[in-house]
Amino acid sequence: MPRFAANLTMLFTEAPFLDRFALARDAGFDAVEFLFPYACDAEQIGERLRRHRLKLVLFNLPAGDWAGGDRGIACDPRRSDEFRQGVQLALEYATELGVPYVHCMAGITPPRLAPERARDTLIEQLRYAADQFQPHGIGVLVEPINTYDIPGYFLHHSDQAVELLAACARPNLFLQYDIYHMQRMEGELSNTIRARLPLIRHMQLADTPGRHEPGTGEINYRHLFQLIDELGYDGWIGCEYQPRNGTVAGLGWMAALTAG
């Protein structure tokens, strides 16, 4: 059966962030992920992980002014210094918390910036980030994100991500494959997962339309979970969805869609 991690940014939002760790453990999760840890001290998060016997499997590098609309800054040449400062901050948290992977959000292409310049900047920044994390045994992930939810997002197709990884040529740089985003952008989920599996180190899920629990929309998750098992994927799948009627009330999909 696939291994599922609770995304604490999206799930258990009825509770303050630091209280969500206990709720995830009580709901049967062994691992968690979230967008950003930086509003809390690393020691606070580490204590919650230890107390509730949870593994942290992923968080994002700083992504600029999130409340102001930034969704990553790695493709913006004007913000190179800010990006690199964020890498150093993320490295402090990552080494303290023992996370195996961090996600670098490419960002929205700045107005009037040529796509080629955005690509070159992103490659340069990904190489920098990968080189900083590599001595610590930490991988850096890139994730294509759909342009319906984030218009103008630079990295939005799996083929584009594969080409980007090849151009960066770093051994600790991999693909984060979000089933929801890729269903919206390109479909062909089974064949794409099969073809890209050697590069995939983390997956995420939600159904569409609505970005709710698996089983609420058009994606055949029973088939995908069986396929992922058959392919031998041993990474985590982050539950990055918006519960329709509360997190715990909606968790029945796990048993329903992973039964033999």
- Active-site residues, by number, are 143, 240
- Alpha-carbon distance of 250 to 248, in angstroms, equals 5
Phi, psi for 58 (deg, rounded to 5): -170, 140
Closest among 2, 38, 34 to 21, alpha carbons compared: 34
Residue 15 and residue 33: Cα distance in Å, rounded? Answer: 16
Q: Are 12 and 246 in contact (CB under 8 A)?
A: no
CA distance 97 to 214: 29
> What is the distance between the alpha carbons of residues 254 and 260, in angstroms, rounded to a whole number?
12
Cβ(28)–Cβ(5) under 8 Å?
no
Helix axes 115-133, 80-97, angle to 10 degrees: 30
